[in-house]
Amino acid sequence: MKTKRNILFILLACIICSCGTQLYFPRSADTKKQEQLLAGRKLYTSYCSSCHNLHLPGQFTAGQWKMKVDAMQPRAKITDEQKQLILQYLISEP
């Protein structure tokens, strides 16, 4: 009985971990850019996940993302600067 519960726990942990790694982690040699991308990722996960699941950066082209983030700005109540950081993160996936 106990082993069963442990296996379930491990499975659950795996599922949770694999969900988290779907959003790419930015790595840029340029420190300033790296900071901006990290900030964008953080803003994206905190402001854009309250109403729906996060869409993956690769799901849309840069042009499509610009329109969609513009459309979501009033919903997420973010400033132009925050929007810019989120957009930069979304379209910078290597």
Size of the site for ligand HEC (CB under 6 A): 13
Report the residue from 50, 53, 63, 94 that binds ligand HEC according to the rule CB under 6 A: 50
Using the rule CB under 6 A, give the single segment among 1-9, 19-27, 29-37, 47-55 that binds ligand HEC.
47-55
- Tell me the DSSP string of 24-65: PPP--SSHHHHHHHHHHHHHHHHHSSSSSPPPPGGGS-HHHH
Inter-residue contact 40 to 89 (CB < 8 Å): yes
Residues that bind ligand HEC (CB under 6 A): 47-48, 50-52, 55, 68-69, 72, 75-76, 78, 86
